[in-house]
């Protein structure tokens, strides 16, 4: 049963549209379970009815015609309760309802399971049999598993408009897809799908005008692949027996004008670009092999995919089509958009970012905020492969995406964008005023940066310095480690732009979700693995180079502060500080006029909270990395869209930890800053003010609104709010409570902008 289940699941995954997915399910299930009927009913939200969408066994004429309310029949019971119903003799059940169109009266045994996606019933999967019997537990779990799989496919199809088409209603315009707010703002633009190279399954469809060029590119790729396989065959000829080498003959046959090539060319002629046409053909051919009972033949699907990958590599090599520049007004879309994808796009050309994975605290989202580009993350239902070139609206406040927006939706979002611009305009008047509470307490607001292009916006936002310069960003966008001189130049740029204001350079914080392509780290759990100072302490040559570059960059300016990320033990802080001292000594000995900078520890791991006294004693200052601290305290991966609802820095446990760190820092006369994303959230800023935070560092885009918050409260008011907030039991209660206070203080306009 397990093997059969896996094969059905595989086929459903590979189905290119919902119609195919439901057809596969009803056919396969009825054969595997040897039942008389297997049907899929989909829930139609407008009519609130279940509609028969596919069936093996029922009258085909009834498809699309049989519909029932959730109060009707056994099916309605499954949908309404969102639970399975397993009945031996359905016609005897008080809820049984007879549908003439289907001829159902002949069936007695009934097992229906709900199809649920994100807590919502999308439909019902049902099997029926003439005999009177109860379906087994094993039958139930098979249907459960398939229903769960189908749920994702249905959610995808709803977004595409395919469900509407299946119901005969045509494409649904302006369908919105839920994700997670990644970076505030609203953008309307054209999708450009980006994907990792040589990953055939990730290749999107893309419309083309120039068929001849695409045909030529594909034919050249076929030629190059053929040459490559012949060469491989020749090279291995001496070591491999003839039978094994037969594989290469099979490869060559597939490439010799056989249907893979001609079908791909046909798909190109139909208007798809060569990589998209290749993906579609390989997938459909591979599916035929996957279907076969014979293990050997099934393995041929792997050969086909291998050839597909090789062809793709050659297409990508030849491809000026790949490297088309990103046009102004582009929305960058991908399964997993990376920080470097964003950094590579020309400044000002992006109006939005949508990533199927990741969350609001992923580095790519942070970068998008810094660049002022609206972003929606974790849009797992996004049909990434099918929306290249489409128009979309990116609502970075609500975390929603509208594919093919209607004129009304577009107009509404344009209005929102204008309002936002007006609010920013109003706030820009605060630029030269101090971030000072009503009762006169100054809370310097600093900028988080990492990109050279950030420096100007940060200066213009009125930042009083840089509280977090993520040095890994210039490392991420290169193809090798930058040299000491290169680093010195990069750091000098930011130090001199802000001098005499302080600039905190954080030492390299790679690992976790920030892998360097030229320093690969393979780990099961990267966030619990080799990252931050764990790497740099193991590689003192990298660490020392960076520290020397920082120190040299600050000569004559002397506004450098150094910050160590991911400190988890006293020893790590001591070792890092010792390396800093050594770098200073080396430079002084070489006659350089370096000064000792202040050195701080990031508090972003729960262990550091519980050793805060020992750490505070040894650091010149503390900087709370609330993004990671929340992730580790709440045991919620900051990039996992599925648990993004649970990731909330306003969680009472996080607030208590922050309070503890700030109080301990002050007990040791150490200034405490916070540089996680929560510093840029109005409600969080009020509570931090109440805790007595000394400074806050955030994306420049958020800085004016936080200044407005600080200038609207007294320290005393903030303390009183904190005392009450600390008594609350959940993040949502805390947020509601503080947002209420913000609205009463006349800052309601800020509350809409998300968390």
Tell me the catalytic residues. 363, 675
Indicate whether 513 belongs to the interface with ligand PEP (CB under 6 A).
no
Indicate whether 56 belongs to the interface with Mg ion (CB under 5 A).
no
Indicate whether 625 belongs to the interface with Mg ion (CB under 5 A).
yes
| Binding to ligand PEP, residues 451-470 (CB under 6 A) | 468, 470
Dihedral (CA of 608, 611, 612, 618) sign: negative
Residues 9, 147: contact at Cβ < 8 Å? no
Q: Which of 470, 511, 476, 467 is nearest to 491 (CA)?
A: 470
Indicate whether 72 belongs to the interface with Mg ion (CB under 5 A).
no
Name the segment binding ligand PEP (CB under 6 A); options: 144-152, 255-263, 606-614, 625-633: 625-633
Indicate whether 604 belongs to the interface with ligand PEP (CB under 6 A).
yes
Smallest gap, in angstroms, from Cβ of residue 192 to ligand PEP? 26
Long-range contacts of 164-173, Cβ-Cβ distance < 8 Å, separation of 24 or more: 166/18, 166/19, 166/53, 167/42, 167/44, 167/51, 167/53, 167/64, 168/64, 171/404, 173/404, 173/405, 173/406
Residue 639 to residue 17: CA distance in whole angstroms: 28
Indicate whether 627 belongs to the interface with ligand PEP (CB under 6 A).
yes
Q: Which is nearer to Mg ion, 271 or 526 (CB)?
A: 526
Q: Which tokens is 612 given?
A: 């805060």
Residues 71, 42: contact at Cβ < 8 Å? no
Q: Which is nearer to ligand PEP, 286 or 675 (CB)?
A: 675
Residues 414, 223: contact at Cβ < 8 Å? no
Smallest gap, in angstroms, from Cβ of residue 664 to ligand PEP? 18
Residue 631 to residue 188: CA distance in whole angstroms: 32
Neighbours of 185 (CB within 10 A): 25
Indicate whether 675 belongs to the interface with ligand PEP (CB under 6 A).
yes
Smallest gap, in angstroms, from Cβ of residue 508 to ligand PEP? 11
Smallest gap, in angstroms, from Cβ of residue 750 to ligand PEP? 21
Q: Which is nearer to ligand PEP, 206 or 470 (CB)?
A: 470
- The residue with tokens 């007006």 is 422
Q: Which is nearer to ligand PEP, 72 or 628 (CB)?
A: 628
Q: Which is nearer to ligand PEP, 114 or 465 (CB)?
A: 465
Binding mask 44-63 for ligand PEP (x = CB under 6 A): --------------------
Q: Which of 741, 698, 691 is nearest to 715 (CA)?
A: 691
Name the segment binding ligand PEP (CB under 6 A); options: 37-45, 164-172, 587-595, 622-630: 622-630
Residue 143 to residue 115: CA distance in whole angstroms: 10
Indicate whether 648 belongs to the interface with ligand PEP (CB under 6 A).
no
Are β-strands 49-56 and 67-69 bridged in parallel, bridged antiparallel, or unpaired?
Answer: antiparallel
Give the residue, chosen from 628, 637, 648, 694, that forms a contact with ligand PEP under the rule CB under 6 A.
628
Smallest gap, in angstroms, from Cβ of residue 424 to ligand PEP? 24
Binding mask 559-598 for Mg ion (x = CB under 5 A): ----------------------------------------
Q: What SS3 state is found at 269?
A: helix
Name the segment binding ligand PEP (CB under 6 A); options: 48-56, 165-173, 305-313, 619-627: 619-627
624 forms beta bridges with 603, 674
Give the residue, chosen from 158, 472, 628, 694, that forms a contact with Mg ion under the rule CB under 5 A.
628
Q: Which is nearer to ligand PEP, 435 or 696 (CB)?
A: 696
Q: Which is nearer to Mg ion, 286 or 447 (CB)?
A: 447
Residues 304, 282: contact at Cβ < 8 Å? yes
Indicate whether 626 belongs to the interface with ligand PEP (CB under 6 A).
yes
Task: Choose the contact partner of 465 out of ligand PEP, Mg ion, none; CB within 5 to 8 A by kind.
Answer: none
Smallest gap, in angstroms, from Cβ of residue 454 to ligand PEP? 14
Indicate whether 513 belongs to the interface with Mg ion (CB under 5 A).
no
Q: Which tokens is 642 given?
A: 């599925």
Q: Which of 17, 36, 16 is nearest to 26 (CA)?
A: 36
How many separate helices (H) and strands (E) can be counted in the chain?
28, 22
Task: Choose the contact partner of 675 out of ligand PEP, Mg ion, none; CB within 5 to 8 A by kind.
Answer: ligand PEP
Q: Which is nearer to ligand PEP, 41 or 647 (CB)?
A: 647
**Bond from prior residue into 689 cis (ω within 30 degrees of 0):** no
Q: Which is nearer to Mg ion, 314 or 531 (CB)?
A: 531
Indicate whether 86 belongs to the interface with ligand PEP (CB under 6 A).
no
Q: Residues 6 or more apart from 29 whose CB is under 8 A from it?
A: 8, 35, 38, 56, 125, 127, 142, 143, 146
697 forms beta bridges with 446
Binding mask 564-603 for ligand PEP (x = CB under 6 A): ----------------------------------------
Q: Which tokens is 196 given?
A: 């990792």
Binding site for ligand PEP (CB under 6 A): 366, 468, 470, 509, 604, 625-628, 675-676
The binding site for Mg ion (CB under 5 A) comprises 604, 625, 628
């Amino acid at each position: 049963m397990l093997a059969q289940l896996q094969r059905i699941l595989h086929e459903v995954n590979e189905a290119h549209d919902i119609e195919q997915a439901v057809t596969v399910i009803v056919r396969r299930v009825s054969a595997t379970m040897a039942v008389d009927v297997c049907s899929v009913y989909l829930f139609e939200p407008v009519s609130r009815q279940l509609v028969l969408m596919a069936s093996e066994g029922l009258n085909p004429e009834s498809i699309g015609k049989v519909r029932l309310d959730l109060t009707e029949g056994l099916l309605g019971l499954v949908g309404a309760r969102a639970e399975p119903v397993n009945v031996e003799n359905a016609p005897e059940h008080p809820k049984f309802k007879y549908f003439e169109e289907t001829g159902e009266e002949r069936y007695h045994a009934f097992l229906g399971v709900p199809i649920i996606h994100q807590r919502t019933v999308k439909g019902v999967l049902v099997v029926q049999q003439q005999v009177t019997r109860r379906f087994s537990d094993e039958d139930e779990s098979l249907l459960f598993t398939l229903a769960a799989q189908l749920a994702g496919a249905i959610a995808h199809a709803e977004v595409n408009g395919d469900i509407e088409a299946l119901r005969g209603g045509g494409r649904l315009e302006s369908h919105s897809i839920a994700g997670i707010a990644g970076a505030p703002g609203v953008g309307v633009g054209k999708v450009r799908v980006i994907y990792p190279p040589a990953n055939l399954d990730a290749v999107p469809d893309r419309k083309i005008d120039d068929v001849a060029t695409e045909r030529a590119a594909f034919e050249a790729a076929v030629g190059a692949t053929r040459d490559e396989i012949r060469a491989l065959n020749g090279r291995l000829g001496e070591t491999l027996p003839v039978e094994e080498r037969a594989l290469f003959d099979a490869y060559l046959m597939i490439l010799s004008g056989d249907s893979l090539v001609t079908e791909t060319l046909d798909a190109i002629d139909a208007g798809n670009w060569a990589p998209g046409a290749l993906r579609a053909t390989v997938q459909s051919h591979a599916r035929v092999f996957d279907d076969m009972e014979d293990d050997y033949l099934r393995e041929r699907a792997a050969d086909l995919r291998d050839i597909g990958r090789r062809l793709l590599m050659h297409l990508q090599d030849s491809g000026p089509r790949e490297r088309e520049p990103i046009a102004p007004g582009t929305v960058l879309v991908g399964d997993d958009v990376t920080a470097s994808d964003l950094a590579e796009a020309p400044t000002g050309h992006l109006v939005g970012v949508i990533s199927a994975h990741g969350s609001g605290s992923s580095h790519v989202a942070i970068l998008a905020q810094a660049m002022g580009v609206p972003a929606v993350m974790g849009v797992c239902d996004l049909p990434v492969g099918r929306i290249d070139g489409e128009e979309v609206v990116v609502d970075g406040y609500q975390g929603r995406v509208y594919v093919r927006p209607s004129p009304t939706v577009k107009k509404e979002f344009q209005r929102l964008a204008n309002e936002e611009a007006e609010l920013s305009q109003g706030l820009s008047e605060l630029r030269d005023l101090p971030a000072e509470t009503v009762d006169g307490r100054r809370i310097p607001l600093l900028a988080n940066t990492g990109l050279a292009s950030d420096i100007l916006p940060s200066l213009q936002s009125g930042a009083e310095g840089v509280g977090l310069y993520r040095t890994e960003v210039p490392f991420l966008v290169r193809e090798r480690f930058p040299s000491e001189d290169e680093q010195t130049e990069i750091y000098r740029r930011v130090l001199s732009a802000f001098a005499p204001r302080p600039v905190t350079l954080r030492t390299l914080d790679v690992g976790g979700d920030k892998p360097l392509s030229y320093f690969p780290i393979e780990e099961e759990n990267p966030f619990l693995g080799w990252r931050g100072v764990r790497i740099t302490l193991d590689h003192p040559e990298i660490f020392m180079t960076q520290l020397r570059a920082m120190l040299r960059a600050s000569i004559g300016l002397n506004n450098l502060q150094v910050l160590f990320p991911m400190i988890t033990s006293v020893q790590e802080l001591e070792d890092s500080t010792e390396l800093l001292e050594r770098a200073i000594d080396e430079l002084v000995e070489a006659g350089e006029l370096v000064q000792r900078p202040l050195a701080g520890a990031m508090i972003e791991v729960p262990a550091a909270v519980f050793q805060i006294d020992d750490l505070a004693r040894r650091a010149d200052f503390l900087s709370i990395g609330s993004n990671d601290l929340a992730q580790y305290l709440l045991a919620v991966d900051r990039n996992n869209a599925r648990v993004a609802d649970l990731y909330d820095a306003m969680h009472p446990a996080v607030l208590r930890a922050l309070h503890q760190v700030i109080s301990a820092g002050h007990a040791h006369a150490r200034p405490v800053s916070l540089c996680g994303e929560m510093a840029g959230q109005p409600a969080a800023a009020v509570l931090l003010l109440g805790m007595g935070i000394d400074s806050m560092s955030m994306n420049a885009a958020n800085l004016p609104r936080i200044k407005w918050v600080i200038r609207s409260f007294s320290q005393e008011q903030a303390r009183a709010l904190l005392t009450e907030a600390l008594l609350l039991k959940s993040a949502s209660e805390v947020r509601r409570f503080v947002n209420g206070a913000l609205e009463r203080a006349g800052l309601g306009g800020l509350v809409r902008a998300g968390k």
